[in-house]
Chain A
Amino acid sequence: MINIQSLTFSYRKNKPLFENLQLSLEAGHIYGLLGKNGAGKSTLLKQIAGLLFPDQGTCEVMGYTAAKRQPAFLRELFLVPEEFYLPKVSVKKYVNLYAPFYPNFDEAAFSRYLKEFEIPREQKLTEMSYGQKKKVLISFALATNTKVLIMDEPTNGLDIPSKSQFRKVIAAAVSEEKCIIISTHQVRDLDNLIDSIVIIDGHKIIFREDVQTVTDKLSFKTVSRMEEVTGVLFADSSLRGHTIITRNAGNEQSKIDMELLFNAVLTNHKPIQEIFN
């Protein structure tokens, strides 16, 4: 569905953000795009949406060259940017103005999502807080039923109850035809939501695996004494003990700790990568 080949891009000459980047994303998945600040998450999402053009290489989405921004491509893609614009109209008017551009827009689903987020439909967008506006935009994005849905830091600005509402709403909207990409640096917000992890660092994709594969090959545990375990790939200590990642030798099923995995991949990339190769 999304096919990025040999993508090179830089904002400034001789300072490439991506060099020869390869990435292929399929429908039916929710991808979590993780990376440090400035790693290029938003830039990669913009490349996919056609808002930035590759210096070299190609970025094809659903068979379209993203940079051409053709209407047939745009009506099957929705981007929820971190900083977004909503016109000064009511929710109803917003839907009347924007929904006709999306042939698969589902009004009933939109109402359901708004209800889930506890947003009154008659309220004017100008009278809403940033978080409420974001929830309207997320609801609209999901209701468009586009094949590609991109969300850049969607949980920023959402309060704690809203974050769990967000997970619920996204989980309800996923389907075999859709490819959802969520970029975040708040990895815990995506717990139990994403089924595939893409980590971007140092100009390229350094990790791209399904959550199932990760839990098949790695074990996530909390131990009280580090001396009790061997073969620790990464550890993070806290008052509750030591959270560790080890190779999953005994085929045990453990719950993935996204933050731990992210830190492990960044600090101890080579041994982890060897396990997946």
Chain B
Amino acid sequence: MQANNIFNFRRMQLYLQKHFADQLRFYLMGAVATFGLVTLIGILLVLTHNHFDKISDIVPFYYVGLFAGGLLFTSRSFNELAHKEKGVDFLLLPASQFEKFLTLFLISTIGFFLFYHISFYLSVNIVEKVQIAVNGLHVQNDYKFLSDPDEKVYVYYVYFVLQAIFLFGATCFHKYSFIKTVLCVLLFLFGLFLINSVIVTLLFGWKSEIWKSSIPFVMVHKMEVSGRLVHGGGSYLIPRWLLDAYAFILRFIFAPVFWTLAYFRLKDQEI
């Protein structure tokens, strides 16, 4: 196999040009809508006698926007495949599947992530300026996104795992990809819960209804039942090494696995 059948820099550049020419209108409208919505909501809240004293008041909006926006945007990565005509154009354009995948991967991961942070930063600055003009209040920077505690960084690991799952979902479901992927994730989680419940029930028995108070495959809280009284018992946590293994898988395995699956799934597309 010739090497340039997988990646060629010039071809990648041409494909990026072609992709942006096709999608420019959508990206611009999406960018303006995201920035406009966040800024407008912030300004409206300030004008209706609400105020943001500190960054931690804004953080929930930030996380919701990141997850909702990022996952919705990722879900439409392979939107071309939902339409036969566009799908033929996409699959038969003489660029490699890797170049096509890489283009959409870069745009939906790094592209969106960068855009969202710049956009949100600008929005917060505008909202703060409006707030200063209205009631003279500054927004205090009291929130560290990656530390205090250090585990906050896992929000981003979870985001990238979900992003990878939704990218894979976009290659599996061409229409209503977001909804279908959400359903699949929920079904998968429910399946895990059921399996965990069965295992926990087999280990601890029915009576104390332990399955109700456990974090699947991580922790079990055993309540003591005596007569009609139920009172707190002990908690059983999986060993540290297993927790570390979970953390490692979350940080370094899940996202690359789903990105790789998405690539191979794209190669298998038929129209």
Residues of A within 8 A of B (CB): 46, 49-53, 69-72, 74-75, 77-79, 81, 83-85, 87-89, 93, 97-98, 100-102
Contact (Cβ within 8 A) A74 B93: yes
Bound together, the chains give a CA A85 to CA B18 distance in angstroms of 14
| B residues near A72, Cβ cutoff 8 Å | 2, 4-5
A89 to B1, CA, bound (A): 35
Nearest B residue (CB) for A152? B88
Check B22 for interface membership: any CB of A closer than 8 A: yes
A42, B118: Cα distance in complex, Å? 47
- Assess the B89–A75 pair: CB atoms within 8 A: no
Binding site for A on B (CB under 8 A): 1-2, 4-5, 8, 11, 14, 17-18, 21-22, 25, 83-86, 88-89, 91-97, 268, 270-271
Could you tell me the distance between the alpha carbons of A100 and B10 in the complex, rounded to whole angstroms?
10
Instruction: Point out the residues of chain B lying under 8 angstroms from A70, CB to CB.
Output: 1-2, 5, 96
CB closest chain-B residue, reference A88: B25
Given A71-B96, A93-B21, CB of A85 within 8 Å of CB of B83 = yes
Taking the closest CB of chain B, its distance from the CB of A49, in whole angstroms, is: 6
| A-B contacts besides A81-B84, A97-B21, 5 pairs, CB < 8 Å | A51-B91, A97-B18, A98-B18, A100-B14, A101-B11
Residues of A within 8 A of B2 (CB): 70, 72
Decide: A85 and B86 in contact? CB cutoff 8 A.
yes
Chain A residues with Cβ below 8 Å from B1 are 70
CA distance A225 to B214 in the complex (A): 92
Tell me if A85 and B14 are in contact (CB < 8 A): no
Question: Is the CB–CB distance between A87 and B21 below 8 Å?
Answer: yes
10 contacts between A and B (CB under 8 A): A51-B92, A51-B270, A52-B271, A69-B92, A72-B2, A72-B4, A81-B85, A85-B88, A98-B18, A100-B14
Residue of B nearest to A87 (CB): B22
- A83:B94 contact, CB within 8 angstroms: no
Question: Which residues of chain A are near B91, meaning CB under 8 Å?
Answer: 50-51, 69
Q: Quote the shortest CB–CB distance from A2 to chain B (angstroms).
A: 16
* Contact indicator B270/A52 (Cβ below 8 Å): yes
Which residues of A lie under 8 Å from residue B84 when comparing CB positions? Answer: 81, 83
Residue of B nearest to A146 (CB): B94
The complex places the Cα of A27 from the Cα of B94 at a distance, in Å, of 21
In the complex, what residue of chain A is closest to B5 when comparing beta carbons? Answer: A70
Given contacts A52-B271, A101-B94, contact A84 B5 (CB under 8 A): no
Q: A71 touches which one: B18, B89, B95 (CB < 8 A)?
A: B95
Contact B270 A53 (CB under 8 A): yes
Would A84 and B92 be within 8 Å (CB), given that A46-B271, A71-B5, A71-B11 are in contact?
A: no
Contacts of B17 in A (CB 8 A): 97
Name the 7 nearest CB pairs between A and B, nearest first.
Answer: A85-B85, A74-B94, A75-B94, A70-B5, A101-B94, A85-B89, A85-B86
Asked whether, in the complex, the Cβ of B88 is within 8 Å of the Cβ of A101, the reply is: no
- Complex: how many Å from CA A105 to CA B91? 19
* Chain A residues, CB < 8 A from B22: 87
Output the least CB separation between B193 and chain A (Å). 34
* Given known contacts A83-B85, A97-B17, A49 and B92 CB-to-CB distance under 8 angstroms: yes
Give the CA-CA distance A87 to B97 in the complex, in Å.
20
A273 to B133, CA, bound (A): 89
Considering the chains assembled together, what is the distance between the CA atoms of A93 and B24 in angstroms?
14
Q: A53-B270, A70-B5 are in contact. Are A101 and B89 (CB under 8 A)?
A: no
Residue in chain A with minimal CB distance to B22:
A87
A89 to B25, CA, bound (A): 11
